[in-house]
Amino acid sequence: MVLNDTDRDLIAAVQDGLPMVARPFAAIGDRVGLDEAEVIRRLDAMLRAGVIKRFGVVVRHHELGYRANAMVVWDIPDDRVEAVAGEIARCPCVTLCYQRPRRLPEWPYNLFCMVHGRDRGLVEAQVEQMAARLGLQDVPRAVLFSRRRFKQRGARYASAAE
Amino acid sequence: MAKRDQGGQGCGEALPLGELERRLIDAFQRDLPLVPHPFAAVAESLDSSEEAVIGALSSLMDEGVVSRVGPVFAPHKAGASTLAAMAVPPERLDEVAELVNGYPEVNHNYEREHRFTLWFVVTAPSRERIDAILADIERRTGIGVLDLPLVAAYHIDLGFPVQWS
């Protein structure tokens, strides 16, 4: 999907969330000079094209009681990374699974996944189980628990200044 | 803002959310109806009212449980993004975290337990803009930034099932 300037204006207007009013798409439209039906049509098109992957209630997992969140990183041989990533992504405790570049020598890991749990021990146990089940006990890995959250909000793809 | 964060260390107790709040979170992390009165449509499926749904979502946002009701963009498709990491010494962490937060293009920014202490996501309309921001951060802090852009995504849904027990 090719996004035009109007789409980008719409993304900028909606990326921080809908206003809590009865007709939020009309209110968003007022900000960007589109009518309500056009706002809905364009958002629907972005959803269908996969530019927007979901549209709904975005929760902060920490406040929901998922107090422990760890980024688990693995150094998977390149010829196995796709198959292993597919397996990891199927684990119910995993919310994200991304392949990223190694930056040797300081960063040897190429597969990243986010594991959420109610507490630290549970997250550690889930990672152990995952490694055992997938035969990854001998693969170098690191578990990076989060300590402080300095910022968390939706990604911004458009800014008024650009 | 009242945060629901007074629990003991790692106690992980379920939050005292109301029935409507739970059902909103369970049912509408995806597929909010794209119709002129979306909250009325939600209310109908939950046997509630438009006013009650708007009120419940507003209070969830006030409490910080819900960050927003809106779109989650797929990585890459609407712009460029990267995960960045910095080995910030503990005594400089607050200062550098604040400097990094100052960029509107930075969304998530976490301290993690590792030699690389600061982890943040940068999202911008173009890769060039990201390069410029990372270079600026390196210049202003004197600390190198690991640039770890996405190669492949295997599971890209942040709407996860909530176990309320």
- What's the confidence (pLDDT) of residue A115? 87
Place A127 in a pLDDT band, splitting at 50, 70 and 90. Answer: very high
pLDDT of residue B75: 67
Question: Among residues 45-84 of chain A, which lie with CB inside 8 Å of chain B?
Answer: 46-47, 49-68, 71, 82
With contact defined as beta carbons under 8 Å apart, do A51 and A138 qualify? no
Beta bridge partners of A98: A112, B153
pLDDT computed for residue B113 by the predictor: 95
Residue A108 has pLDDT above 50, yes or no: yes
Average pLDDT over residues A88-113: 90
> Burial letters for A51-65: b for 16+ Cβ neighbours within 10 Å, e otherwise?
bbbbbbbbbbbbbbb
B21 vs B159: which has the higher pLDDT: B21
**Residue of B21, B25, B76, B73 lying closest to A55 (CA atoms):** B73
The residue among A35, A53, A124, A146 with the most chain B CBs within 10 A of its CB, best to mutate, is A53
A40 and B66 within 8 Å at the Cβ level: the answer is: no
Tell me how far apart the alpha carbons of residues B100 and A49 are, in angstroms, rounded to a whole number. Answer: 32
E strand or H helix at A135, and its extent?
none
pLDDT in tens, A40-59: 999 999 999 988 989 999 88
Mean pLDDT is lowest, of A55-69, A113-127, B82-96, for A55-69
The percent of residues in chain B predicted with pLDDT above 70, rounded, is: 81
Percent of chain A with pLDDT over 70: 93
Q: Inform me whether the pLDDT recorded for A161 exceeds 70.
A: no
Which residues in chain A are closer than 8 Å to B32, comparing Cβ atoms? 55-57
Residue B123 or residue B94, greater confidence: B94
Q: Taking CB atoms and an 8 Å limit, are B107 and A50 in contact across chains?
A: no
Condensed to tens digits (0 to 9), the pLDDT of residues B1-18 reads 333 333 332 323 445 678
- Going along chain B from its start, the domains and CATH numbers come out as 19-62 (no CATH), 80-148 (3.30.70.3460)
Query: Is B12 within 8 Å of A49 when comparing Cβ atoms?
Result: no
